[in-house]
Structure 1
Amino acid sequence: MQKVRDLDDIDRRILRALRKQARLTNNELAEMVGLSPSPCWTRARRLEEAGFIENYVAVLNQAKLGLGDTVIIEVTLDRHDEDEIQKFGEALAELPEVLEAYLTTGEYDYFIKVAVDGTAGYERFLRERLYKVPGIRHSRSSFALKCLKREFSPMP
Structure 2
Amino acid sequence: MLDNIDKLIIEELSKNSRITMKKLGERVHLTGQAAASRVLKLEESGIIEKYTVTINQAKLNCLIHAFITIRLNNPYHQSFLSFIKTQEHYILNTYKVSGDGCYILESRFPSNEVLDQFLVSLNEYANYNLSIVINKQN
TM-score w.r.t. structure 2 length?
0.90
Query: In structure 1, the residue corresponding to 2:66 is in which secondary structure?
Result: strand
The superposition leaves residues 11-52 of structure 1 with CA deviations (integer Å, 9 ceiling, x where unpaired) of 000000000111100000000011111111000011111111
Q: 2:120 aligns with which of 127, 134, 138?
A: 127
Q: Report the counterpart of residue 131 of structure 2 in structure 1.
A: 142
The one-letter amino acid of 1:32's match is R
Gaps of 5+ in 1: 1-5, 150-156
Alignment CA distance shift 1:93-1:53 (3 Å) = farther
Quick one: distance in 2 between partners of 1:71 and 1:144? Answer: 6
The superposition leaves residues 46-80 of structure 1 with CA deviations (integer Å, 9 ceiling, x where unpaired) of 11111111211221110111111111111110212
Q: 1:109 aligns with which of 95, 102, 121?
A: 102
Aligned residue pair count: 137
Q: 2:44 aligns with which of 49, 52, 67?
A: 49
Aligned pair 1:15/2:10, yes or no? yes
* Structure 1 residue 93 displacement after superposition: 3.6
Quick one: distance in 1 between partners of 2:23 and 2:58? Answer: 31
* Structure 1 residue 90 displacement after superposition: 4.4
Gaps of 5+ in 2: none
Q: Report the counterpart of residue 152 of structure 1 in structure 2.
A: none
Q: Report the counterpart of residue 3 of structure 1 in structure 2.
A: none
* Structure 1 residue 120 displacement after superposition: 1.6
TM-score w.r.t. structure 1 length?
0.80
What is the identity percentage for the equivalent residue pairs of Structure 1 and Structure 2? 28
TM-align CA RMSD: 1.6
